[in-house]
Amino acid sequence: MKIVILRRLTQLTILSLFVLGNFYGVKILLGDFSASTLFGVHLADPFAVIQLLLAGFSLGANAIFGAFIVAIFYALIAPRAFCGWVCPVNFLSELAFNLRAKFGSTNQKRVLNLSKNARYYLLAFSLIFSAIFGFAAFESVSQVGLLVRSIVFLQGSFFGIVLCILVFEIFIFSRGICSHICPLGAFYAIISKFSLIRISHNFQNCTKCNKCKVVCPENQVLDMIAKRNDFVRNSECISCGRCIDVCDDDALNFNIIRRKQ
Ligand code: SF4
Ligand code: SF4
Q: What is the pLDDT of residue 206?
A: 97
- Of all protein residues, whose CA lies closest to atom 6 belonging to ligand 2? 216
Residue-wise pLDDT tens digits, 129-188: 999 999 999 999 999 999 999 999 999 999 999 999 999 999 999 999 999 999 999 999
Is residue 147 in contact with ligand 1, taking CB distance under 6 Å?
A: no
The answer as to whether 243 is a domain residue is: yes
233 falls within a domain = yes
Long-range contacts of 258-261, Cβ-Cβ distance < 8 Å, separation of 24 or more: 258/231, 261/229, 261/230
Amino acid of residue 158: F
My answer on whether 173 and 201 are in the same domain is no
- pLDDT score at 112: 72
Q: Are residues 74 and 182 in the same domain?
A: yes
pLDDT at 108 (0 to 100): 56
Residue 168 and residue 82 share a domain: yes
Domain holding 242, by residue range, is 197-256
> What spacing in Å lies between the alpha carbon of 90 and ligand 1's midpoint?
6
- Looking at residue 256, what is its pLDDT? 97
Residue 226 lies inside a defined structural domain of this protein: yes
Residue 145 lies in a domain: yes
β-pairing, 41-44 vs 35-38, is antiparallel
157, 30: one domain: yes
- 69 found inside a domain: yes
If asked whether residues 150 and 174 sit together in one domain, one would say yes
Q: Which of 169, 190, 211 is at the close of a domain?
A: 190
- Shared domain for 83 and 206, answered yes or no, is no
Residues enclosing ligand 2, CB less than 6 A? 199, 215-218, 221-222, 232, 237-243
**Three-state DSSP class for residue 29:** strand
Q: What is the pLDDT of residue 17?
A: 98
Q: What CATH number corresponds to the domain at position 235? A: 3.30.70
d(CA 55, CA 144): 20
Question: Do 235 and 119 fall within a single domain?
Answer: no
| 48 and 97 both lie in a single domain | yes
In a domain, 31, yes or no: yes
The pLDDT, as a whole number, for residue 259 is 76
Q: Which of 164, 190, 216 is the last residue of a domain?
A: 190
User: Do 160 and 88 share a structural domain?
Assistant: yes
Q: 183: CA distance to ligand 1 center in Å? A: 8
CA separation for the pair 8, 52 (Å, rounded): 31
261 part of a folded domain = no
Query: Do 213 and 103 reside in the same domain of the chain?
Result: no
182 lines ligand 1 (CB under 6 A): yes
Q: How many structural domains does the chain have? A: 2
- Among the candidates 172, 190, 208, a domain finishes at 190
Query: What residues of the chain score a pLDDT lower than 50?
Result: none
Residues 6+ apart with CB under 8 A from 171: 109, 111
Asked if residue 74 and residue 18 are part of one domain, the reply reads yes
- 100 and 210 share one domain: no
Asked if 19 and 151 count as a contact pair (C-beta separation under 8 A), the reply is: yes
pLDDT number for residue 111: 67
* Ligand with an atom nearest the CA of residue 185: 1
Residue 149 lies in a domain: yes
